[in-house]
Structure 1
């Protein structure tokens, strides 16, 4: 088992790269261990195949220097926030024992994003309940509750509660996104067009990052919302 400092929970492969890969890179650069758990293989997406998406996720993970990445194989579109899915995610949270969880946007264009956010929130709380019994590799797991759950902002604009400066990591963020070659604009692709394969989609991602960066007097930023207020001991911790 690899204990993680930060665990990113994403409904689909490429959600984490699009929403918070700059933050992942910044945390890894600081020496923290970061991993991603993709809930589905994105098999209902217009382009690509589940097998190809897994290969692309592996390539992106190498760019991000992840300590762990796995896919839970939930059914794309059809997964629900029920006991069985909560229990499976609790096993993963207890396996990696993260201090911080980054989860999907609380509301977004794709219904799986908000659903994934709610599932992550509930599983993180329930993971701290010792009377919920789980096991990993035949051994009983201890209860574990992450200290913080933050939600990265995706397609729809949501006013962030805080913004992370990702300026030094912008190029690697873009590289991690482009690892999903099947999903984004390719003039030679014979596959049907999709919402994210539009040639204007990646420029939109950059404009959003520039907007958030501008708000904190930096070039690029990623925004997050919080589930509870963040406390500080020193006003100078605020940038």
Structure 2
């Protein structure tokens, strides 16, 4: 199945937090979107790999995505190795996305920046004919996405552009809260982590609101791009 967009995250919940609103919006416009989680998040302070898997399935239903897979790479030990690159290449060639959304280029969790580079390199390698990969014992066709965009996570990275997610923020937050073990719950007895606080939960709204304020919309999500983007005309640009 071909996807228009493939969103890839180091951990289950990265995609929901970083670009969940964008995914929901584009699906509402008829786009086919898949999600690839690189690890099971097994080193997380709260929850387990098993609970994260259930939560990821629940979140996928809320997002409305066409497919979700987990590569089960080692949480906390992502590296830009040939083995890991080829695992991602196989998925890029399987789903043939025009656009790949990847982790932030710099962030609090070291896996995020490592994943950003790993995914970017895999996207390039996926277009090389002399690299052979197989799906169900069949040789895969080469495929290189047209664009790689990096969503913004913990750190306040200045975006190169934003996507207007007005009307979709509440559903994004619902998808994030499907990860019941990970985020703020005053009744939970699990240890408090930086993302399990009330302030972090509220930041999903005020950060989207601030990007919206700066760009002339109600709510927005920010992205960085690896290459200069050309636009055909000024239609579709929201002006303050």
Look up the match of 1:71.
Answer: 70
Q: Could you tell me how far 1:235 is from its partner in structure 2?
A: 2.3
Find out whether 1:190 has 2:218 as its counterpart.
no
Find out whether 1:219 has 2:223 as its counterpart.
no
Greater than 3 Å deviation, 4+ residue runs: none
| Alignment partners' CA distance in 2, 1:232 and 1:206 | 29
| Alignment partners' CA distance in 1, 2:34 and 2:234 | 30
Look up the match of 2:200.
Answer: 201
* Bigger mean CA deviation after superposition, 210-219 or 57-66: 210-219
SS state at 1:235 partner: coil
Look up the match of 2:149.
Answer: 150
SS state at 1:26 partner: helix
Look up the match of 2:95.
Answer: 96
Look up the match of 2:8.
Answer: 9
| Alignment partners' CA distance in 2, 1:237 and 1:33 | 21
| Alignment partners' CA distance in 1, 2:195 and 2:208 | 16
Q: Could you tell me how far 1:216 is from its partner in structure 2?
A: 1.4
| Alignment partners' CA distance in 2, 1:137 and 1:9 | 22
2:133/2:139 contact within 8 Å kept: yes
TM-score (norm 2): 0.97
Look up the match of 1:47.
Answer: 46
Look up the match of 1:58.
Answer: 57
2:173/2:204 contact within 8 Å kept: no
| Alignment partners' CA distance in 2, 1:48 and 1:125 | 35
| Alignment partners' CA distance in 1, 2:129 and 2:224 | 28
Look up the match of 2:114.
Answer: 115
| Alignment partners' CA distance in 1, 2:12 and 2:231 | 34
Specify every segment of 5 or more residues in structure 2 that has no aligned partner in the other structure, as ranges. Answer: none
TM-score (norm 1): 0.98
Look up the match of 2:85.
Answer: 86
* Bigger mean CA deviation after superposition, 181-190 or 85-94: 181-190
| Alignment partners' CA distance in 2, 1:208 and 1:134 | 40
Q: Could you tell me how far 1:173 is from its partner in structure 2?
A: 0.4
| Alignment partners' CA distance in 2, 1:39 and 1:219 | 32
Q: Could you tell me how far 1:36 is from its partner in structure 2?
A: 0.5
Kindly tell me the number of residue pairs found equivalent between the two proteins.
238
Specify every segment of 5 or more residues in structure 1 that has no aligned partner in the other structure, as ranges. Answer: none
| Alignment partners' CA distance in 2, 1:230 and 1:59 | 35
| Alignment partners' CA distance in 2, 1:48 and 1:204 | 22
